[in-house]
Amino acid sequence: MDASSPPRYRRFSTRPGPAPLSGSELPPYTRRNTLTQPINLRREPTEHVFQLSDGKSKPWITLRVFSSAKSSKSLPTFFEKENINGRLELDAERGDSIQAITAMVTGRIITGSNIDDSFVFLSQTQPIWSKSPDLPRVPSPSEGASSNKLLGHCVWPLSIALPRTVTVPSGSGELRSFRLPETFLERQTRVSVQYDLTIVVSRGKLRADNRIKTAFGYVPSTRPDPPSLLRQLAYQQFLPLPGPLSDPEGWKTLRPVTVRGTMFGVHRAEAKCTLSLAKPLCYARGTVMPCFLTLEGRDTQALDLLSAPTSIVLSLRRRVRFYNKTSSSRKDVAWNETVEDMGTAVWWPSTDSRSDSNTRHLEGEIRLAKDLRPTSEMGHFSISYSAVQCPFAAVGFTSDTAALLSEPVEIATMHAKGPRTNAYAPPAYDLPSRRNDQPHVPTLEAVGAFHL
């Protein structure tokens, strides 16, 4: 599986046209159409090499790991359902005191620098070789690995299956099954999710064990359900996106809210605002989140002011929540949260619904970064998202309220089945940067959403 390319951006006609009468008009979709569905070619695995030396020029143990990472300089990266494949090579001298060799895979949530600030949700052990013939061994083509003492150049193939889910205590203390979360490490957030592969060479009681260890990236496979048939038709044929009036099954229209404020310090203004989000409320990273806004009111000047594309503020807000048991003796204050806006919608006049003197219709979308972390939950750690409609930022307008409304949404790692999502923002609209262009420190390369 490979990271997919960013979404395609096309210049769409602004001339309104009739929408299809029903979803039955959707033509057959085929993955063989390479004009609308690029072919994902599986590339050869990337080899990562880790070695230990005993002071001599030649290393005595080498771990080779084959992963889906783009470069050998990156951390090994594995997608859900992929095994950790590799090869262990060891040069044993006569009289070596090796008692056993074991592979260990761990997944941890780290909330601090103390040893107690780590929660292990994944722990797997796979015996590779043991001095005792009664214990399991990984079959080796090397003659020196077949007896109760290692001798010469020994090689073992490795293939470790990762579980899709694990059962651990939830935040409330109840045992629950959770999907493995994606590797997570950000400079601004005081929690991380880390996976490690460790090879342990155990020796006698008077000799120290040897360890060769590497962190690795893990990417879960989460996918949105397909969008409405009319939206699939629009994506497939590069047509304008049908709005809530033309495609009611394809949108979730939120409760209307009343926008109240003061214009230029003297004039009171009021309008009814109705926000719609594209269904399903789960979106693949590296694509866009379509949205639609309707403003209604009797004050034409206020409508013109509020409907300016730069006046509407709709943000994708991320909440990272975790429990650090050493941060407080009281559970009710031991929870930590980091809240951050990860993107803002851009808007333009709708081509699907016509505005009049008392109504303004706008289309919009939030571009989702390719390295956006997916929605996840593991024990006392979670990453969640919501679309938040903030006060209008019109020039000369002062709002009476804070955030107008919030709707939970999810971020997935894979594209929905069917045609790829198209981006509709006109080229002249500059998208706001995320995090004010602060550097992002990922633990693995930005893989974006991928498609199967």
Q: Averaged over 432-437, what is the pLDDT?
A: 45
Is 431's pLDDT higher than 70? no
The confidence score (pLDDT) of residue 174 equals: 85
pLDDT at 391 over 80: yes
The residue-averaged pLDDT of 263-271 equals 87
Rounded-to-integer distance, Cα 47 and Cα 42, Å: 15
Closest CA to 362 of 411, 416, 296: 296
Parallel/antiparallel/unpaired status of strands 100-110 and 118-130: antiparallel
pLDDT surpassing 50 at residue 114: yes
Instruction: Answer whether residue 179 shows pLDDT above 50.
Output: yes
Residues 300-329 have a mean pLDDT of: 85
Distance CA(235)–CA(424), nearest Å, equals: 10
Tell me what pLDDT residue 3 has: 44
Q: So what's the pLDDT on residue 93?
A: 83
Quote the pLDDT of residue 211. 94
Whether pLDDT at 90 is above 60: yes
Contact between 294 and 359 under an 8 Å Cβ cutoff? The reply is yes
Distance CA 107, CA 180 (A): 9
**Under a CB-based contact definition with an 8 Å cutoff, are residues 288 and 366 in contact?**
yes
**CA angle in degrees (0–180, nearest 5) for 219-223-226:** 165
C-alpha to C-alpha distance for 428 and 347, rounded to whole angstroms = 11
Distance CA 295, CA 406 (A): 17
Residue-level pLDDT at 148: 86
Mean pLDDT over residues 83-110, rounded? 91
280-306 mean pLDDT: 95
Say how many residues make up the chain: 452
Look at residue 323 in the predicted model and tell me its pLDDT.
82
Average confidence (pLDDT) over 217-246 = 96
Does residue 41 register a pLDDT over 60? no
- Number of DSSP helices (H) and strands (E) in the chain, helices first: 2, 24
Which residue's entry shows tokens 């600030």? 117
Tokens of 3: 């990271």
Under the banding of pLDDT at 50, 70 and 90, the label for residue 328 is very low
- Between 261 and 109, whose confidence is greater? 109
pTM of this prediction?
0.83
